[in-house]
Amino acid sequence: MSHSGGFTSQDSATKISVGDAITPEDVSASSAVASDETARYALLLGDDCLILAQRLGHWISRAPELEEDIALGNIALDLLGHARFFLTYAGSAWGKTEDDLAYFRSEEEFRSCRLVEQENGDFGRTIARQLLFSFYTHELYQRLVRSADTTLAAIADKALKEVDYHQDHAAQWLLRLGGGTDESKRRMQEGLESVWPYLEELFADVEPTPTLAEQEVAVLPSSLRDAVLTRLSSIIEESGLEVPASKGAFGADRSGRFSENRGFILAEMQVLARQHPGATW
């Protein structure tokens, strides 16, 4: 293996057969009901995936190459699937559907991190955002598969196989853009600089997560920090780029301070559903 990170370019997105993998409908049909605290945790995880899927979906028909239209679309589709799992499960605590939660919550009620709310920017910036988020979720799901909550564990198990490919995709592009041309190196470095301030927020321990972590239901975010940073630093150095110096943007505590972008994202996502409240689609 020529580079760090534990994956090779020969890995393929299709190497994993879906087989008897769970579906969002399975979660909905199961008798599992989340506690209020677990639901709040699932909502936080689900919102991150939903907003990022929303962002990535914009690339379809705009990517640098046809294969990337497909790859970014595929990743967006995976993330949307993860969001549907988490939101469906969260909704079980409150008698709400995934669509109630996705379309009829306001900006203040979303729990997404600011990283996923960042604009796509150029391809380098999108890859930088993918790199950070996929490395974080990979570490997270690797531990969440051992959750005492069987639904969360099943979701993590399904998502992990897909995130494995997402981080490979991001890392392969990091290496290519970092080691490609002067322009790609500059743009990729800029991409990293622009998203890095929002990395720290992912490791903030905000209730109910610490309580759930004690019950071995959730993964304590701060416990992921060292592993994620080590792996990110290693792949960034290998790409010939520099690990940004930023220590994190102020307000990195997941306490509800959201980016300016969130309102625009939700306005677009929710517009049609809200024009026809109660309608079936």
Partner 1 sequence: MSPEKPALRAVDSPSETTTHEAQAAAEDARVGWEQFQQLIEEDQRVEPRDWMPQNYRKTLVRQISQHAHSEIIGMQPEGNWISRAPSLKRKSVLMAKVQDEAGHGLYLYSAAETLGTSRDEMYQQLYTGKAKYSSIFNYPARTWADVGAVGWLVDGAAITNQVPLCRASFGPYGRAMVRVCKEESFHQRQGWEILYTLSHGTEAQKQMAQDAVDRFYGPALQMFGPPDDESPNSQQSMAWNIKRFSNDVLRQRFVDMIVPQAEALGLTLPDPDLKWNEERGHYDYGDLDWDEFFSVVKGNGPLNHQRLAHYRAARDDGAWVREAAAAYAAKQAEASPRSALLSA
Residues of the shown chain interacting with partner 1 in the complex, contacts defined by CB under 8 A: 24, 50, 54, 57-58, 60-70, 73-74, 76-77, 80-81, 83-84, 87, 98-99, 102-103, 122-124, 175-177, 179-181, 183-184, 187, 268-269, 271-273, 276, 279-281
By the 8 A CB rule, do 167 and 131 touch? yes
Nearer to partner 1, 145 or 269 (CB): 269
Amino acid identity at 34: A
For the bound state, the minimum distance from the C-beta of residue 56 to partner 1, rounded and expressed in Å, comes to 9
Nearer to partner 1, 43 or 219 (CB): 43
Nearer to partner 1, 80 or 116 (CB): 80
Half-sphere exposure (CA, 13 Å, Cβ side) for 183? 2
Nearer to partner 1, 84 or 143 (CB): 84
For the bound state, the minimum distance from the C-beta of residue 114 to partner 1, rounded and expressed in Å, comes to 19
Residue 150 vs residues 31, 33, 109, 188, 257: alpha-carbon distances, Å: 12, 11, 26, 39, 31
The closest of 72, 71, 49 to 59, measured between CA atoms, is 72
Nearer to partner 1, 99 or 205 (CB): 99
Omega cis (within 30) before 244: no
- DSSP of 221-245: GGGGHHHHHHHHHHHHHHTT-----
For the bound state, the minimum distance from the C-beta of residue 235 to partner 1, rounded and expressed in Å, comes to 15
For the bound state, the minimum distance from the C-beta of residue 200 to partner 1, rounded and expressed in Å, comes to 28
